[in-house]
Structure 1
Amino acid sequence: MDSIGGRLREERERLGLTQTELGDKAGITKNTQRLYETDQRSPKADYLQALHQAGVDTHYVLTGDRPGTLDAQPLGLPAIEPGPEFSPVKMYDIEAAAGAGRSFEGEPVKTILHFPSSELAEQGLDPAQVVGIKVRGDSMDGTLADGDWVLVDRSKRDPKQEGVFLLLVSGERRIKRVQRLAGGALFLISDNEHYQPEMIKPQDMHDVEILGRCEIRIGRIV
């Protein structure tokens, strides 16, 4: 195929989806999907990000170059230069990101996703304070699944506002629901009921650092 629209149609047919079905996965109408496939409209970055999550080889769609396997394609967009209306967010694998402290500088970046700056602002997020983390394990099943990505706001580190936080506990990065208890203790809760809650006593707080609040989940619909 010699056009983005043609390759997009080819990928849709490879997955056995109708224009309506693929459009639903990306949050657009059948008509918009048709316009993309006939090259009457250029697809946007957030649309392509949604397609990647649905199994579309977005690298092939944009470049015509298909890697040997889809596993070789990193999450999100290939190496293109989005417009100024998009903000880059570095995405880290929580297992690979094992350094001490709240800084992610020097950590291996899994990939970089570009999000519409206006949409981040609508969610109250400052792109400069946002990192993406890949969830590992099943301790947060019901809220976050193994392999999901979550956007973390590093400016929100006060557990007085209960929620799901990225923490550094004894040198290990973990994602837990956090509640502050009377006397300054913290209650770390796994949403998977098979895991017992953990209490961090005030005298043990030196081993714990809250790195940011988990705000947006990116994952498959099941």
Structure 2
Amino acid sequence: MYNIKFSEVVERLREVLNTKSDDDVAKSLEITPQAFFSFKKQNEIPSELLVRFCLLHQTSIDWLVKGEQETTSEYVNIPTYNPKIFTGEKTDETARKTEFIAFKNDWLQAEFGTNRTNLYLFNIEDDSMTPTLKDGDVVIVNKKDNLLDRDGLYLLRIEGASFVKRVQRLPGGSIRMICDNSAYQPIEAKADQIENGEILVIGRVVWMGKNY
């Protein structure tokens, strides 16, 4: 085991987790907040913690430590969104297990560039977005694009449930969550519901895979 400068990796740790919270980073590393503060103060962090983090989040250790992205592999594994890991919930290993789907590296590079480290897969499991998205379809979500600076399809998490909805911005920071299936009514949410985390914006849908 060797130590790596804490200041050089902490921002990239936050980027992978899509958070600014030190507590979230500590949870993802499976250490206490006190240990996190100690590493921060010493400006050193054990490499074994980072290796375990990279395996869990399917992140390149070269990118995490040096900011360099590996480009030699023909395929890149994109993780399926797992709310148990994303929210830092304490669960058994089965619940925390993340599934991956391999995509061609050159296609990901052409479509998303360096943003491919910010991508999640999400499986559609309802009919609320029919005909745009049907049960069994798969989408790619860019977790970096979660500021709701434009209308579009977003992966949202509300009251423990995760789903894709069409988001329309309204005056004052409110939003309207629209189901493309006319059998479902739109839902409006106030700006403070987003600000306080009652409605969590995971990211914007940037690709759709259809299940025919």
Contact 2:136 2:211 in 1 (8 A): no
Higher helix share: 2
Q: Deviations over 1:97-128 (max 9, x none)?
A: 4438567997332x321111221122225221
2:205 aligned with 1:220:
no
Q: CA RMSD in A?
A: 2.4
Query: 2:170 — aligned with what?
Result: 181
Please identify, of 188-197 and 199-208, the stretch whose mean Cα deviation from structure 2 is larger: 199-208
Distance 1:102 1:214 in 2: 20
Query: 1:167 — aligned with what?
Result: 156
Query: 1:43 — aligned with what?
Result: none
Contact 1:166 1:210 in 2 (8 A): yes
Query: 2:84 — aligned with what?
Result: 99
Q: Secondary structure at the residue paired with 1:204?
A: helix
Query: TM-score, normalized by length of structure 2?
Result: 0.57
Query: 2:73 — aligned with what?
Result: 84
> Could you list the runs of 5+ residues in structure 1 that have no partner in the other structure?
1-82
- Counting matched residue pairs gives 134
**Percent identity for Structure 1 against Structure 2:** 26
Rg bigger for which structure?
1
Q: CA deviation at 1:172?
A: 1.8
Runs of 4+ aligned structure 1 residues displaced above 6 Å come to 103-106
Q: Secondary structure at the residue paired with 1:139?
A: coil
Distance 1:179 1:132 in 2: 22
Query: TM-score, normalized by length of structure 1?
Result: 0.54
> Could you list the runs of 5+ residues in structure 2 that have no partner in the other structure?
1-71
2:141 aligned with 1:156:
no
Contact 1:160 1:179 in 2 (8 A): no
The 5-angstrom pairing of residues 1-222 of structure 1 reads 84-92=73-81, 97-99=82-84, 107-109=96-98, 111-124=99-112, 126-205=115-194, 206=196, 207-221=198-212
